[in-house]
Structure 1
Amino acid sequence: MSQDRLPQNKLTPPIAAKKPQSLILHNDERVDNYYWLREKENSEVIAYLEAENSYTQTMMQHTEVLQEKLYKEMLDRIQETDLSVPYRKDEYYYYSRTEAGKAYPIYCRKKGSLDAAEEILLDQNTLAEGHEFFNIGVLQVSPNHQLLAYSVDTSGAERYTMYFLDLNTSQLYEQSIEDTYYSFAWGNDNCTVFYTKVDDANRPFQLWRHSLDVPIAEDILVYEETDEAFHLSVGKTRSQAYILLELGSMITSEVHYLAANNPTGNFQLIHPRTDGMEYDIEHHSDNFYITTNDEAINFKLMKAPVSSPTKENWETVISHREDVFLLGVSAFSNHLVIYERQRGLPTVRVQKFATGEEYEMTFPEPTYAVYEGNNPEFNTKTLRFNYTSLITPNSVFDFDMETQQRELKKETPVLGGYDRTQYQSEWLMATAEDSVQVPISIVYKKGIQKNGENPLFLTGYGSYGYSYPAAFSSNRLSLLDRGVVFAIAHIRGGSEMGRKWYENGKFLHKKNTFTDFIACAEYLISQGWTNSDRLSISGGSAGGLLMGAVVNLRPDLFKAVIADVPFVDVVTTILDTSLPLTTIEWDEWGNPNDKVYYDYIKSYSPYDNVEAKEYPDLLINAGLNDSRVQYWEPAKWTAKLRELKTDRNVLLLKTNMGAGHGGASGRYESLKETAFDYAFLLDRLGLGSQVKHFTIDGK
């Protein structure tokens, strides 16, 4: 019985009405039956999404006990009343804390010592009252510590309203600034600020200067970026000496600088944008340190005098290396910290400015993640960094760069008796179809036998050069303790194995990302970790594109799939320049106005390649206010799958009607979303409740 003739009862999925619209692109006429789902203001669209939500709730009703159990498990592992590790800036110690029953953090400080009285800067719980969604973007104290700039988003659309708070009087300035973005900088006069504004496509395109003692209507437009492939941001060097205006596409950079002591002055250009050339700036003493890929695919480090930092004055500090990917550097008064990737793993080196002596930090596990923590002070010998792994909870260390001694300041508590010795992690290598070795990070509870019968949860991303971190998740213990093996496929399109790893997973090499993931899945099966009836997969955003592509290519390989805010309608989206981020994306996927790229993108775009065949069980998550992947992409994909797929496996669309790309705000609602996803996964793998599993027609 075909789906569009199924009786419309509570166990029958909603069927989106077919409203064909012809799209003619490169003389390629396409009929899109579900293009109308883009009409957010159309009551029929909202009714359809709500019907899908109702159907999803009905189909998952038998897992409600499991969802509640998972939620309670995850919540019970969290120390609800907790405190972040305070960091020092001048004479103040800044930190955030949480309280049991409250969804959001409270931002605080103490003056002089950690024994001093607490001053609450901002209680996000109070600000969030009455809002279904609430997120803070900017949160920056002025150089004299007397003023606080902060911005809020109450829809999930990532358009922030900026506020200014006098910390001496606890009074807000009367004026606020609409449509701002994440970046911000204080001038050293404690009165001048720089903020960015977004255009209709949510692209940060303008830098504005505001003085707190004049009306916002008199703010000065400092810079406007007219090239839609570029976005801008503003920040400040750790030395507090310079404000940096950074302009960038996916593959090209341009940086301007301004003395923070002269915030009403004019920004100066370091090097004009050159197609394909990227560079970042760090300041130390009389020099700018420049990380760049100029004739160096894995990047190199240069320096130039602040007095004349143009490219002809750059000199080499760290040469390019074929086997080491230079991620960036951090400058302190006496030390330069160098972040790199070698053999697929992150590394950290420290160099003394005075002598050039250096050493490399070591880490104990086969797969891990390390990243810089809060280090606002320039004149210090202490580096704060965070370390985590698939087994080790996030750990904050203070590292003495002189003595090389590290002090564990805090390991995130995991309540309920977590014993890390009961778990094992490994770093594996699968062989791709072109013989390239693809890394896999894997973790499991000890005692697992490689007999081919284990349930396994495989995830990946593989876009924008993002290296998927092998990080700890206390929530994941709810899977591991039920015998689920968890794995990360470090596929091409990321940067785990260097910049070439990224280059070989983008543009006309994008399909390597998908075939690498499939190769990892096949390897795990061949090595006895699991089988195709016990293999589940997940990915979000561009990782959702990955999910859509691999289920089109190899639907037989996977039992269950979770696709979060999936970027699946690739061709239509990146041809529509009215959408957020579209033009910027051309440097990642290729410009579809070029027929070569158009044909290639169309050949893997998940929505365009849905076929009449069997697909795995699918849970597709969306956000109505998502500005990065519009809700209609997962909605259209779901509708087309319902139309064409020939199986009776479960297909669920769940749209958060009050959130955006990141899902629910607040830690409790976020946990509930995770519990829902895990319940779906466990249920489909036969590890949930004993209530029988439903198929699409309720049988």
Structure 2
Amino acid sequence: MSKNIQPPVAKIVPKKLEKHGDVRIDNYYWLNQREDKEVIDYLNAENKYYEQMTAHTKDFQKLLFEEMKSRIKEDDQSVPYLYNGYWYITRYEKGQDYPVYSRKKGSLEAPEEIMFNCNEMAKGLSYFQLGGVSVSPNNKFATFGVDKVSRRIYTIQVKNLETGEILSDKIENCTGGSVWANDNQTIFYTTKDPVTLRSNKIFKHKLGTDSKDDVLVFEEKDETFSVFIYKEKSKKYLVIGSQSTMTTEYQILNADTPDADFKVFQKRTRGLEYNISHFGDSFYVLTNTDQATNFKLMKTPETATEKENWKDVIAHRDNVLLEDIEIFKDYLVVEERENGLTKLRIMPWSGVGEYYLPFDSETYTAYTSTNVDFDTTVLRYGYQSLKTPSSIIDFDMKNQTKEVKKEQEVLGGKFNKDNYEEKRVWATAKDGTKVPISMVYRKGIQLNGKNPLLQYAYGSYGYSMDCTFSSTRLSLLDRGFIFAIAHIRGGEDLGRPWYENGKLLNKKNTFTDFIDCSKFLIENKYTSPKHLYAEGGSAGGLLMGTVINLAPELYNGVIAAVPFVDVVTTMLDDSIPLTTGEYDEWGNPNDKEYYDYMKSYSPYDNVEAKAYPNMLVTTGLHDSQVQYWEPAKWVAKLRAVKTDKNVLFLDTNMDTGHGGASGRFEALKEIAKEFSFLLDLEGIKK
């Protein structure tokens, strides 16, 4: 890396921010003007600096990209599923970035009908996302949403699948998804608040009419809730859901009568969470009512849906989290999580002969897949582990036989899962809590402290970090890296209490758990501070920002992707997307207790004059979830005060948002950048 290239210096414009009598001076607040030429110039200058400083890795990035691409089956397709008389297939063509959605009537031998070729639709666009394809009950029409900017704001249109014609109906500013009533004429959809991007209104549209005439069905006025709509698997009910971090409410309507009024299922009560599934003349309710922290399953008649009518089906258990259910005519399938691992429980409605699907690894994940049919004995589920490529399996619940419908192919001829070791170990956190770490590496490595190790985590919103396979990750493993997932508090990996103990005024457990996992990996000679790397994105980027303020000496390099690092300022700004809905996760800083606690860990507020690790920070100019200016301000402040000579890069994708590039190969280029950053720090050149 050239030492002569000087990093850009952001100008200082002090802005006084005052709350609860506490004054913070933000020198880089001016960077939040997306339309300002000076802001764009600064972001471009940072990009240029990053390009110049990493110019020597360009060929290696290309090699990594080609290597990762060569493992992917380019002409791939999904396992077909049968729905309402048609087989549906999503496939990719060789050399193409985007999927083709198609269907076949009645049998897989029937001629293919192309519904949407996203490669054609994406021509000339730097970003393209198709979402929410929904076929009418008579199979004639399909609604679809398109996002061309990457701010997750979609325009919905309707296609006549028989003629290929796109109808004149056009609905702007939506979430992308929509739902058909059973009359093949009425569509329900969700719109977003234009400023905060909160999903807040459900509208009803009649085919062939102007969207200006659409009827507002429901408006969610509570800013801490977002709203959505779907149709039950039984096809009998349309359901409007309102959801906040800790409270849910549903409204139901018979799908045959779209012009009638929705009826509240069980009115919202703070702290009451529930999900509903219709079957026969009843609803099954997955809920945390009556202190069922890990959730229980209850049942209620469809004519009497209020809580006082709910009866237990599966009782609450302290050590098992009830995550989801899948209903079939003769079977109930329950997704559970115990000791950090997912389990699939098969329960015949007859009450006789229930069993669990057998899984023998400690670093796997299993989940129900596409099961749109009630009247079948076949459960479709997915399975993968850190070293086992993902499989889609059809399991006959009656005969207990299975058929692997598809196993992810890893091309190139070099991959053999037996060349890798996967294991789970437990670190002890500073309060005595045992925290699981899942890891994978090439067999035969020595535990001598010299192995490069990438430690990954998320740790927020009760989102569990499952052990999934990644063919791109092989580019690190085959060059000697260990990959480790720290299942820290704030996720739901060990049940709901695991989440409760890593949010609000317990949030710091998330950060200290990660650090204690790092110390464990160092003490047990998996790696050393010279070779330890950390990565996290979004709320995991907040984790990175806090960890390097608390224990920078443990890491040689850190990747913070789209990081949420300016916690206090963002949570005080209720015009920013997501803010008000986040109060139950982080706390409301308008309350002094939460303000003080947030400020004590907020990465941006706690940057100090000290040595930090080598860092790569990434963002997207159009990010709607973590605004680009958070990482931009953070990098500017770090540049101004840090005392080390380590590299600090800000890479802003000027075309995309929170999810990065939309094409499958473009996304690989972003991973190649990250991997070359890590490998370069390790002195690995090929």
Interval containing the TM-score (normalised by the shorter chain): over 0.9
Deviation at 1:401, TM superposition (A): 1.5
Task: Pick from 419, 423, 429 the counterpart of residue 420 of structure 2.
Answer: 423
In 1, are the aligned partners of 2:490 and 2:501 still within 8 Å (CA)?
Answer: yes
Question: Which residue of 2 is the match for residue 524 of structure 1?
Answer: 521
Question: Which residue of 1 is the match for residue 206 of structure 2?
Answer: 211
Task: Pick from 248, 259, 263 the counterpart of residue 264 of structure 1.
Answer: 259
In 2, are the aligned partners of 1:624 and 1:657 still within 8 Å (CA)?
Answer: yes
Question: Which residue of 1 is the match for residue 579 of structure 2?
Answer: 582
Instruction: State the Cα deviation string for residues 188-216 of structure 1 (Å, max 9, x = none).
Output: 11111110000021000000011103322
Task: Pick from 214, 236, 243 the counterpart of residue 248 of structure 1.
Answer: 243
2:446 matched to 1:452?
no
2:55 matched to 1:72?
no
Letter in 2 for 1:281: I
Shifted more, 19-28 versus 398-407: the winner is: 398-407
Letter in 2 for 1:446: K
Instruction: State the Cα deviation string for residues 488-530 of structure 1 (Å, max 9, x = none).
Output: 0000000010000000000000000000000111101111100
Question: Which residue of 2 is the match for residue 613 of structure 1?
Answer: 610
Question: Which residue of 2 is the match for residue 436 of structure 1?
Answer: 433
Distance in 2, Cα, partners of 1:83 & 1:582: 38
Deviation at 1:175, TM superposition (A): 2.2
Deviation at 1:95, TM superposition (A): 0.7
Instruction: State the Cα deviation string for residues 336-377 of structure 1 (Å, max 9, x = none).
Output: 110110011011101111335421111131111112211111
Deviation at 1:582, TM superposition (A): 0.2
Task: Pick from 362, 370, 376 the counterpart of residue 374 of structure 1.
Answer: 370
Shifted more, 110-119 versus 558-567: the winner is: 110-119
Distance in 2, Cα, partners of 1:59 & 1:378: 57
Shifted more, 364-373 versus 639-648: the winner is: 364-373
Structure-1-length-normalised TM-score: 0.97
In 2, are the aligned partners of 1:85 and 1:409 still within 8 Å (CA)?
Answer: yes
Letter in 2 for 1:613: K
Shifted more, 137-146 versus 74-83: the winner is: 137-146
Question: Which residue of 1 is the match for residue 639 of structure 2?
Answer: 642
Shifted more, 355-364 versus 75-84: the winner is: 355-364
The SS at the match of 2:168 is coil
Task: Pick from 258, 273, 277 the counterpart of residue 278 of structure 1.
Answer: 273
Instruction: State the Cα deviation string for residues 582-612 of structure 1 (Å, max 9, x = none).
Output: 0000010011111001000000000000000
2:430 matched to 1:408?
no
Deviation at 1:65, TM superposition (A): 1.2
Letter in 2 for 1:214: T
In 2, are the aligned partners of 1:559 and 1:685 still within 8 Å (CA)?
Answer: no
Deviation at 1:123, TM superposition (A): 0.3
The SS at the match of 2:240 is strand
Question: Which residue of 2 is the match for residue 483 of structure 1?
Answer: 480
- Aligned pairs, number: 682
In 2, are the aligned partners of 1:290 and 1:303 still within 8 Å (CA)?
Answer: yes
Distance in 2, Cα, partners of 1:419 & 1:286: 50
In 2, are the aligned partners of 1:201 and 1:581 still within 8 Å (CA)?
Answer: yes
Task: Pick from 209, 214, 217 the counterpart of residue 222 of structure 1.
Answer: 217
In 2, are the aligned partners of 1:10 and 1:55 still within 8 Å (CA)?
Answer: no
Distance in 2, Cα, partners of 1:296 & 1:184: 33
In 1, are the aligned partners of 2:134 and 2:177 still within 8 Å (CA)?
Answer: no
Question: Which residue of 1 is the match for residue 322 of structure 2?
Answer: 326
Instruction: Give the fraction of aligned pairs with identical amino acids, expressed as a percent.
Output: 51
Distance in 1, Cα, partners of 2:376 & 2:463: 30
Letter in 2 for 1:363: F
The SS at the match of 2:265 is strand
Question: Which residue of 2 is the match for residue 233 of structure 1?
Answer: 228
1:342-353 alignment, distance < 5 Å: 342-353=338-349
The SS at the match of 2:499 is helix
Letter in 1 for 2:8: P
1:179-194 alignment, distance < 5 Å: 179-194=173-188
In 2, are the aligned partners of 1:10 and 1:58 still within 8 Å (CA)?
Answer: no
2:100 matched to 1:101?
no
Letter in 1 for 2:251: H
Distance in 2, Cα, partners of 1:371 & 1:652: 38
Question: Which residue of 2 is the match for residue 92 of structure 1?
Answer: 86
In 2, are the aligned partners of 1:562 and 1:677 still within 8 Å (CA)?
Answer: yes
Distance in 2, Cα, partners of 1:66 & 1:369: 33
Structure-2-length-normalised TM-score: 0.98
In 1, are the aligned partners of 2:155 and 2:176 still within 8 Å (CA)?
Answer: no
Distance in 1, Cα, partners of 2:399 & 2:7: 64
The SS at the match of 2:169 is coil
The SS at the match of 2:346 is strand
Distance in 2, Cα, partners of 1:10 & 1:159: 43
Change (3 A) 1:78 1:553: same
Question: Which residue of 2 is the match for residue 693 of structure 1?
Answer: none
2:531 matched to 1:534?
yes
Question: Which residue of 2 is the match for residue 597 of structure 1?
Answer: 594
Letter in 2 for 1:683: D
Letter in 2 for 1:667: R
Question: Which residue of 2 is the match for residue 57 of structure 1?
Answer: 51
Question: Which residue of 2 is the match for residue 695 of structure 1?
Answer: none
Distance in 2, Cα, partners of 1:471 & 1:355: 33
Task: Pick from 558, 563, 583 the counterpart of residue 561 of structure 1.
Answer: 558
Question: Which residue of 2 is the match for residue 117 of structure 1?
Answer: 111
Distance in 1, Cα, partners of 2:201 & 2:208: 21
Deviation at 1:184, TM superposition (A): 2.2
Distance in 1, Cα, partners of 2:206 & 2:373: 25
Question: Which residue of 1 is the match for residue 120 of structure 2?
Answer: 126
Instruction: State the Cα deviation string for residues 48-83 of structure 1 (Å, max 9, x = none).
Output: 000000000011101011101100110110111111
In 1, are the aligned partners of 2:144 and 2:176 still within 8 Å (CA)?
Answer: no
Distance in 2, Cα, partners of 1:288 & 1:158: 32
Distance in 2, Cα, partners of 1:90 & 1:225: 33
The SS at the match of 1:175 is strand
Instruction: State the Cα deviation string for residues 221-272 of structure 1 (Å, max 9, x = none).
Output: 0000111000001011111111110001000000111111112211111111
Shifted more, 175-184 versus 75-84: the winner is: 175-184
Instruction: State the Cα deviation string for residues 279-317 of structure 1 (Å, max 9, x = none).
Output: 000111011000011121100111100011111111000
In 1, are the aligned partners of 2:439 and 2:483 still within 8 Å (CA)?
Answer: yes
Deviation at 1:182, TM superposition (A): 4.1
Shifted more, 545-554 versus 375-384: the winner is: 375-384
Distance in 1, Cα, partners of 2:455 & 2:342: 21
